[in-house]
Amino acid sequence: MNDGKKQEPKLNMFDPANDDGGPAGKPDDAPKNEPDHNGRIEPENDVQPEEPDAFDDFQDVGELDREAELEAQVSDLTDRLLRAVADTENVRKRAERERDDARKYAVTKFAEDMLGVADNMARALDAVDDDLRHNDAVKGLIEGVDLTAKELATVLDRHGIKQIDPMGQKFDHNLHQAMFEVEDADAEPGTVVQVLRTGYTIGDRLLRPAMVGVAKKPA
């Protein structure tokens, strides 16, 4: 019931039409983090900047260390593999060289013994003079010895055993053995002017040096 008093309307403090210049309020149910009627935004809470996660950083460092470790292992294994391949190649080449040497020089001792036979035949033929060579009684024997000496030289040559012919050559201490010096005005000093015993090589090695006399300048 109306008791006869005129009720005054209640003012809405949050109604913009009733703004009397004082500080405006904000209703409790106003949307959060949205501007009020004066355009101001009040933060809902104090937002702190997110700090980096130390565990994530640790994981990143660990992954980098693991990657570097794997790269070092790969490099080490590659180096070992290359060394193993090089060692294997060296062993193969050495085995081939030893096999070739064994094939070439297996007859070295036998060849040294056969050189004595060749020397004796050569000395026997050198001792035969021209008159004896034309003697019908021994002519056939001499020819047989000569043919045998030539055949022996052919067989030795077939097995890589070759004569050294130093006559008229410069003395070479790798192939020749100087027995004496001879004064010779016609020969250049240091030249081989006499051969006492024939030398031989087998393959690229010296089997026996040639015994020689070397010329020297006359006094």
The phi and psi torsions of 191 (rounded to 5 degrees) equal -95, 145
CA distance 67 to 62: 9
Name which residue leads in pLDDT, 28 or 209: 209
**pLDDT higher than 80, residue 38:** no
Task: Report the CATH number of the 162-219 domain.
Answer: 2.30.22.10
Cross-strand bridge partners of residue 195: 212
The residue extents of the domains of the chain are 162-219
Residue type, 164: I
Name which residue leads in pLDDT, 102 or 113: 113
Q: What is the pLDDT of residue 133?
A: 83
What's the pLDDT tens digit per position in 201-211? 998 899 999 99
